[in-house]
Amino acid sequence: MRCLIFLFPSFRQGLSLAAMLLLLTLGACNSPKKLTGRGDELAIAGMYEEASMQYMRALRSKPTYVDARVGLQRAGQKHLDALLVKFDRLHGERQHYDAVFAFVKAETFYRQVEMLRVDLDFPARYRADYESDKAIYLEEAYNKAARLMDQGQFTEAQAVLSDMKRVDPNYKDAAQMERVARVIPIYEDGMAMFDRQRYRAAHQRFKDAEAVLPGFRNLDSMMVACENLLTLKVAILPFDGSSGFAFMLNPHTFLRSSLTMERNRFLQLVDENAIANALQQQSNLLYGGNKVILEIARSLGANTVIGGKVLELQVVPPELRSEIKRGWEAYTVEITNPTTQQKTTETRYKKVEYSEWSGRSLVRMKVQCQMVNALNEQVYFSDIFQVETGDEVRYVMYDGDKSRLYAGVWADRNRDDATDKVFKERDQRRDMERLLNGRRDFAPVSGMMGELQTAMSLRLRDAVLFAERNRP
């Protein structure tokens, strides 16, 4: 009994047809009748477990399919009997571990068949032998797990305890022992990373351990210790050169806003007013370079300083360009039917020209920015960043009736040509209306300064977050 799948790969026909054919073919291959037929073949070959699986698949698909029910009754009983014979042998040989899991397998199979409302014979006498083996197995396994825990072999202990949970999840404190066996390697891994000053990795391992067994040992205090060491208390200084242009620039303020919106638990920003006051108090001193700046940051409780300089602010003035376009203007004519003398109107189009105007303004900013550890003067990053933004206008001017103007093409104003075409589709008409009503004035440069500084703040924010995430 075979099922053949034919595929017709044709890009012109599309993938949907091939997919439908495949689904239909697979559905036919896995019909209750086909599955039952496979089960019959396997049962004849003495493969009762595999046959039972096919019958169960058929019944899950169609619970009322009688042939599958009868097949599962026969093959399932033979498979269950074989499992129980194996259990009986292992019980007699006092192989308690193997006997217990042989019974568990038999009982699991019995329950699966029972859920499909097929009754199998499961003699009650096996239960008493199983309970005897189970009690011995659980006691031995519990003692073995305890020894392994004492020897520090937590992975091995976890495997033993996991097996026990499959048999009796409530045996003594095995469930708690299993969680401890799982959490200790994670906890010790976190402690080792903490000792190597890999605080981010240690924090993650402590979080993993907390998810397994909340409150284990000193997890809470270790996570707090990691967070304290990981937290960057950042002083964002005003950028040099911000006041040297015709427009007000505050890149440090925009950066502060972008970082605040991130809500990064490992970033704390020093109050902007406190920074301004501290810098003001130093204004009567000679410029002391980075040393003075780092001292100011430390005096504010900051362990990190971000500062920079505006290198360039370029304003490219807008330049409008026009282009003569060929189009059509609609008009209506009245036509009289010579036979009925009935009058109707007809829309026609005449060839016209219109002008399309377009242009773009541009503002560009370049800054140098660096992020420095205020405690050891380690440079997290120091780079030059450039961003730009602008405004674009595009509109159409026409001296005729704008409401009747259509885009299109034509070859010659005075004669018809096969290539002449009026663009009358709805989207094409909407595009023309948008151009006819298009904005004709560029946005003021002063208004684009906010967009420009926002774009710069996002670039700087990404650099700060990358540096923060890639610390040890």
What's the token pair of residue 76?
């399932």
pLDDT (tens digit per residue) in 402-436: 999 999 999 999 999 999 999 999 999 999 999 99
Q: Assign 472 a pLDDT band (cuts: 50, 70, 90).
A: low
Backbone φ and ψ for 255, nearest 5 degrees, come out as -65, -45
Task: Check residue 205 and give its pLDDT.
Answer: 96
The per-residue pLDDT of the chain, averaged, comes to 90
Predicted confidence (pLDDT) at residue 289 exceeds the cutoff of 70:
no
Quickly list DSSP for 263-313.
T-TTEEEPPHHHHHHHHHHTTTSPP-THHHHHHHHHHTT-SEEEEEEEEEE
Q: How many of the other CB atoms lie within 10 Å of CB of 184? A: 21
Task: Check residue 285 and give its pLDDT.
Answer: 44
Task: Check residue 287 and give its pLDDT.
Answer: 42
Question: What is the rounded distance in angstroms from the CA atom of residue 398 to the CA atom of residue 115?
Answer: 79
pLDDT (tens digit per residue) in 55-109: 999 999 999 999 999 999 999 999 999 999 999 999 999 999 999 999 999 999 9
Which amino acid makes up residue 266? F
Question: What is the rounded distance in angstroms from the CA atom of residue 115 to the CA atom of residue 109?
Answer: 10
Question: What is the rounded distance in angstroms from the CA atom of residue 306 to the CA atom of residue 291?
Answer: 14
Question: What is the rounded distance in angstroms from the CA atom of residue 101 to the CA atom of residue 400?
Answer: 92
User: For 90-192, where are the E strands, in sequence order?
Assistant: none
CA distances from 396 to 34, 426, 435, 461 (A): 69, 18, 5, 41
Predicted confidence (pLDDT) at residue 13 exceeds the cutoff of 70:
no
Give rounded-to-5 percent helix, strand, coil for the chain.
55, 20, 25
pLDDT (tens digit per residue) in 152-180: 999 999 999 999 998 999 999 999 999 99
User: For 168-292, where are the E strands, in sequence order?
Assistant: 232-236, 267-269
Question: What is the rounded distance in angstroms from the CA atom of residue 337 to the CA atom of residue 359?
Answer: 51
